[in-house]
A and B are shown apart, each in its own frame.
Chain A
Amino acid sequence: AQSVTQLDSQVPVFEEAPVELRCNYSSSVSVYLFWYVQYPNQGLQLLLKYLSGSTLVKGINGFEAEFNKSQTSFHLRKPSVHISDTAEYFCAVSYQTGANNLFFGTGTRLTVIP
């Protein structure tokens, strides 16, 4: 069975502080990994993705994530957050075996405190 686990449902952080949002996956096959962000009352938009190559992936708005195959993790980081980063963040996985499903984690609500 495949799954995506986001260990923290809520993460409060002060403005300009660094943040890490954790994501772990379980899979018996190779995966593609994604982070999506959902701002209040909006649909989701892609932050970044890992398909292959360099394990450090840079995305929009200063976010980056590192694929760690041995730890089956894909944690999202930002060195200095802004108020505008307050949103819900979803990790997602799809599989390289040809399936076209996309599986999302339960989400992490990031709240940036002024």
Chain B
Amino acid sequence: EAQVTQNPRYLITVTGKKLTVTCSQNMNHEYMSWYRQDPGLGLRQIYYSMNVEVTDKGDVPEGYKVSRKEKRNFPLILESPSPNQTSLYFCASSLGGPTYEQYFGPGTRLTVT
């Protein structure tokens, strides 16, 4: 089954404790992206990647890191999480760029206390 998976689905952590949210897709997609969803703000793009070793900033990259060492995986790293990063995070992938249909993962709800 074609899908985007994210882990964990729910995470509660404390300020400053490094964490990684994994994202994996099995569709051989070149483009992958991370978004955060906040009430009243919609989805905002954090980072995207056009291919292995190619990443670029989205709208709200501060406080986040990404890497793309393999085509299927695109982890999101929070080196020192803060409460304002409490949010619902979505990973997405597509064949090539945002003009193609984005396939979204189920989301990761992160709470930073």
Contact = CB atoms under 8 A, between A and B. Distances in A.
Q: Name the interface size band of chain A.
A: 20 to 34
A94 B42 contact: no
A105 to B, nearest CB: 5
Contact of A94 (B40, B41, B99, B101): B99
Given A43-B104, A44-B90, A44-B102, A90 B97 contact: no
Contacts of B92: 43-44
Interface stretch (A14-22, A68-76, A95-103): A95-103
A42 interface: yes
Interface of A: 6, 9, 32, 36, 42-46, 49, 51, 90, 92, 94, 100-107
Interface of B: 4, 31, 33, 35, 40-45, 48, 50, 56, 58-59, 90, 92, 97-99, 101-102, 104-107
